Homo-oligomer: A and B are copies of this chain.
Amino acid sequence: MQEILEQALKEGRAQIEKGEVASYIPELAKADKNHLGICIFTKEGERFEAGDTQTRFSIQSISKVISLAMALEKCGFERVFEKIGMEPSGDAFNSLIKLDMVSDAPYNPMINSGAIAVTGFLTEVVSFETMLEFARKLCMDPQIEVNRAVFYSEMENLSRNRAIAYLLESKGVIKTNVESCLELYVQMCSLNVTAKSLAGLGLVLANGGMHPESGARLLDPDVVRIVKTIIFTCGMYDGSGEFAVSVGIPTKSGVGGGLLSVVNKKMGIGIYGPSLDKKGNSIAGRAALKYLSEHLGLHMFAS
Structural contact, A90 and B86, CB atoms closer than 8 A: no
* A89: chain B residues within 8 A (beta carbon): 90
Q: A96-B167, A100-B100 are in contact. Are A87 and B226 (CB under 8 A)?
A: no
Cβ of A242 within 8 Å of any chain B Cβ, yes or no, is: yes
Expressed in whole angstroms, the Cα–Cα distance for A224 and B301 within the complex equals 8
Q: A87-B88, A248-B225 are in contact. Are A166 and B163 (CB under 8 A)?
A: yes
Structural contact, A303 and B90, CB atoms closer than 8 A: no
Q: A90-B102, A166-B163 are in contact. Are A245 and B265 (CB under 8 A)?
A: no
**Chain A interface residue bracket vs B:** 35 or more
Structural contact, B97 and A101, CB atoms closer than 8 A: yes
Expressed in whole angstroms, the Cα–Cα distance for A243 and B31 within the complex equals 39
Cβ of A302 within 8 Å of any chain B Cβ, yes or no, is: yes
Q: How many copies does the complex hold?
A: 4
Cβ of A253 within 8 Å of any chain B Cβ, yes or no, is: no
Stretch at the interface among A48-56, A193-201, A229-237: A229-237
Structural contact, B97 and A241, CB atoms closer than 8 A: no
Structural contact, B299 and A86, CB atoms closer than 8 A: no
Which A266-302 residues have C-beta < 8 A from chain B?
Answer: 299-302
* A108: chain B residues within 8 A (beta carbon): 241
* A301: chain B residues within 8 A (beta carbon): 224-225, 228-229, 232, 250, 264
A-B contact pairs, 19 of them (CB 8 A): A85-B241, A86-B241, A86-B242, A87-B88, A87-B90, A87-B242, A96-B100, A97-B101, A159-B166, A160-B167, A162-B163, A163-B166, A163-B167, A166-B166, A209-B303, A224-B303, A229-B244, A230-B245, A265-B303
The 10 closest A-B pairs by CB, nearest first: A208-B303, A159-B170, A88-B88, A163-B166, A163-B167, A87-B241, A160-B170, A159-B169, A86-B241, A162-B166
